[in-house]
Every structure is written in structure tokens, then in C-alpha cells.
Amino acid sequence: MSLMDALDASMPGVSPGVFDEADFRAISEITHKEAGIVLSSGKAMLVYSRLAPLVRNANCATFGAYVIRIREDATERTKAICALTTNHTFFYREAHHFEHFAREVRPGYVQRLQSGGKVRLWSAGCSSGEETWSLLMTFLGEDASAGANIAKRDLRLLASDIATHAIAKARAGTYRTEDLKPVPDGLRRHWTRSTGEESTIAPEVQQLARFRSLNLLGDWPMQGQFDTIFCRNVMIYFDNPTKERLVHRFAEKLAPGGWLYIGHSERVTGPALDLLSTQGPTIYRKRAA
């Protein structure tokens, strides 16, 4: 079955020529070049459904006209890429990462902060913020007094994503109360404020995060290195060469002894293996200089 046959079968009323194989190939190429995302032929219907509203809003009569628009217009191209990104996540996802961080990593960081040092974290591909807040709540811990003291130290977390709509939700820090159920009770009690069906991340936690729009395949304007980087379930959308380049960049951006956490189906391969050692399932540490 051709692409147009599939669309006609699934979405009656679509006019022939509105979205064809050439349009899909062009959009796939642009998306891969700009964001590293691989769109297989099975994603044609997803591309159509997510971009059709943008095509209409841009006053383009066809997808072909919209392809021309996004090639020429960087702002519209960014809108299209954002629409094609997947932002599925949830609080305390892959809990063993946060448990490892609390047990093996956090104590040394807390000691450093109390001695007047600084700690820098990065949630790369933060989506709508659940990973960001899970990590920061884990860092502050289940002792409210000690956590409040930690929050006054030189601790900062960069939360970045290519999707501006996801960043807006993350920055707001408000979620359905039921979405926070995976967070351990002690953390949820101290570091969120519930108003019934909605809960908001506590101000002490929110002031530690800095949200930025960032394409991981583009330039990174950040100065200095990070002590821990979380980039989980982002690289599953990339091809292997893109993954290897990105992980190597992460490894170079880590301070010696720094930690990298990746998604459960992701693996470190390529040049980064010269810089990182495996510390557990999808947990890596940068070797000392």
C-alpha cells in the first residue's frame, strides 16, 4: 500500500496530492538534518496529523508549499520540528536512576556544597519537566530542613529541550496531583504544594532550575562542565552515528568523575567509550583526567 493509499484509507476526505511521498521524504530529511530525528515510513500518518494544523495556519494550500516554507523560514521550521517531537514522560521514570543518584552521587555533592563548592546538573531533553523536578527533589532529599539548606547553596540545574511548548509546561511546574504518585512520599510531601487535583513544585525547588530552548545537535552556548547529565529516552529517535556524536559531546562536557544517565534502551558506543566507564544499567561515569 502506498503512502497516499494508507492516508486515504485512514483519513477519508483527504484530497489527492495534499500529502504525498515526496512531501514525507522532504520533511523527514529536514527533521533529520535539524534535530537528528529519524522518521520511518511508518510515521507518515503521525507527520500528517501533527503538521496539518501548521500547514493551515501558514495559509499553505498543500504540504508541498509548506515544505518550501519551512526550508526558507527558520521560525516556521522550528515550529514544525517541535510539533514532530514526542514529549511522553512521567515523574520518577526509571526509578533506579534516582535511587542510584541518591545513594552513590548525592552525598559527595552535598559535602561539596557545604564546603562552599558548586554543583551543576543538566537535564538534556527535559520535555515537560518531570525528570527535572524528580532529580531536584531527590537532591534536596526527605529531610526538609537539610534540603532547605542545600537549596541555598551553589546548586543549579539546566533543563533544556528543543520543544518550546514542553519547556513552557516544565517552567510552570504545575501538574495533576495524581501524576506525582510515583514520587516517594517524603519527597512529594516536602517539595510539592497540593491544591487538590493540582500540585505545584515548591519554590525552593523551582529556583534551582534554569530552562532553555536548545537543539542538542546545534551549538551549546553553556560555559564550563557539568557534574551530572541526564539524557534519557531522547536518543531512541536518532540514528547510531548521531547518537555516538551526541554521547561523545556529553562525555566531553562532563567534569572528571561526572555521571551520565541515559534511557533503558540506550547504550554508549563509539568514541565516548574512551572517556566513560559503565557503573550500572545505563549509568556511566567519566574517567578521571
Q: What region, left, alpha or beta, does residue 153 occupy, with left being phi > 0 and alpha being psi -120 to 50 degrees?
A: beta
- Same-domain check for residues 165 and 72: no
- C-alpha cell of residue 131: 525528570
Share of the chain above pLDDT 90, in %: 61
- Same-domain check for residues 218 and 186: yes
- The domain spanning residue 30 has which CATH number? 1.10.155.10
Residue 14 confidence class, pLDDT cut points 50, 70, 90: very low
- Same-domain check for residues 66 and 110: no
Q: What burial letters (b/e) apply to 213-243, b meaning 16+ CB within 10 Å?
A: ebebbeeeeeeeebbbbbbbbbbebbeeebb
- The domain spanning residue 260 has which CATH number? 3.40.50.150
- Same-domain check for residues 159 and 216: yes
As a whole number of angstroms, the longest Cα–Cα distance in the chain is: 68
What are the distances in angstroms from CA 165 to CA 14, 34, 90, 189, 211?
A: 28, 18, 16, 28, 12
**Which SS3 state, helix, strand or coil, does residue 228 take?**
strand
Place of cell 510539592: 192
- Per the domain annotation, does 63 fall within a domain? yes
What value does the mean pLDDT take over residues 268-278? 95
- Of residues 264, 239, 232, 260, the one with CA closest to residue 248: 260
Write down which residue in 35, 58, 84 finishes a domain.
84
- Per the domain annotation, does 44 fall within a domain? yes
Number of domains the chain contains: 2
Residue 99 pLDDT exceeds 80: yes
Catalytic residue flag (residue 8) = no
- Per the domain annotation, does 90 fall within a domain? no
Catalytic residue among 161, 188, 227, 285: 161
Please tell me the predicted confidence (pLDDT) of residue 10: 45
Write down which residue in 19, 53, 84 finishes a domain.
84
Catalytic residue flag (residue 103) = no
The residue among 40 and 202 whose pLDDT is bigger is 202
Please tell me the predicted confidence (pLDDT) of residue 78: 84
- Same-domain check for residues 109 and 211: yes
- Same-domain check for residues 136 and 224: yes
pLDDT digits (tens, 9 = 90+) for 44-63: 888 888 888 888 888 888 88
Write down which residue in 35, 61, 84 finishes a domain.
84
Residue 88 confidence class, pLDDT cut points 50, 70, 90: low
pTM of the model: 0.80
- Same-domain check for residues 45 and 182: no
Residue 37 confidence class, pLDDT cut points 50, 70, 90: confident
Residue 87 confidence class, pLDDT cut points 50, 70, 90: low
Please tell me the predicted confidence (pLDDT) of residue 158: 98
- Same-domain check for residues 132 and 190: yes
- Per the domain annotation, does 89 fall within a domain? no
Residue 86 confidence class, pLDDT cut points 50, 70, 90: low
Please tell me the predicted confidence (pLDDT) of residue 233: 87
- Same-domain check for residues 74 and 124: no
What mean pLDDT, rounded, does the chain reach? 89
Place of cell 531536584: 136
The residue among 147 and 163 whose pLDDT is bigger is 147
Share of the chain above pLDDT 70, in %: 93
- Per the domain annotation, does 258 fall within a domain? yes
Domain carrying residue 46: 3-84
Catalytic residue among 50, 93, 112, 245: 50
What are the φ and ψ backbone dihedral angles of 38, each rounded to 5 degrees?
-95, 120
- Same-domain check for residues 191 and 220: yes
- Same-domain check for residues 33 and 73: yes
- Same-domain check for residues 74 and 161: no
